[in-house]
């Protein structure tokens, strides 16, 4: 269908993520990994504390999104999804990784462009807001003015 990337939930684990990334890269495609969703209630799952056990039997407590980010980095994904409604998480992840960030959740789900350091994100997903607008071109120009 002419897509050149797929979005995947890294909850499948680092082993399967690596296989998927290797396969898609062999087809000249990319993988964008869902690290944290944009609904305000997403912390109920992505913010859960989990225990990661290493091969050396060491235990480390971390948030679910931190584990998913680790899987994503170790799998060599091409991008990660982080909801625009969670600025604190965007700040932490953007400083820990050079992977491009795709950020949904502006406007409709409560993410506010003026509240974010837009340099931390690479792509702003604003489709639903534009589609539902009475004048998408005017709305887009207003958004671009806010960004600039």
Digit-coded pLDDT (tens) for 99-148:
999 988 877 777 777 655 666 778 888 888 888 999 999 988 988 887 77
List the domain range (segments joined by +) for residue 77: 5-147
What single DSSP character describes residue 104?
Answer: -
How many structural domains comprise the chain? 1
65-101: b or e for each residue (b if 16 or more CB lie within 10 Å)?
bbbbbbbbbebebbbbbbbbbbbebbebbbeebebeb
What single DSSP character describes residue 7?
Answer: E
Q: Which CATH number covers residue 94?
A: 3.20.20.70
pTM of the entire predicted model: 0.85
Digit-coded pLDDT (tens) for 54-104:
777 788 899 999 999 999 999 999 999 999 888 888 888 888 888 999 988
């Amino acid at each position: 269908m002419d897509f050149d990337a797929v979005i995947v939930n890294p909850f499948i684990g680092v082993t399967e993520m690596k296989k998927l990334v290797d396969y898609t890269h062999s087809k000249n495609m990319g993988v964008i990994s869902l690290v944290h969703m944009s609904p305000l209630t997403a912390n109920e799952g992505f913010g859960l504390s989990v225990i990661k056990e290493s091969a050396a039997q060491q235990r480390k407590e971390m948030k679910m999104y931190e584990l998913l980010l680790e899987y994503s980095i170790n799998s060599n994904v091409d991008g990660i999804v982080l909801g625009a409604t969670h600025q604190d998480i965007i700040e932490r992840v953007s400083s820990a990784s050079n992977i491009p960030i795709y950020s949904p959740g502006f406007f409709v789900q409560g993410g506010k462009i003026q509240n974010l350091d837009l340099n931390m994100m690479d792509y702003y997903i604003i489709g639903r807001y534009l589609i539902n607008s009475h004048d998408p071109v005017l709305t887009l120009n207003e958004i671009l003015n806010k960004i600039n």
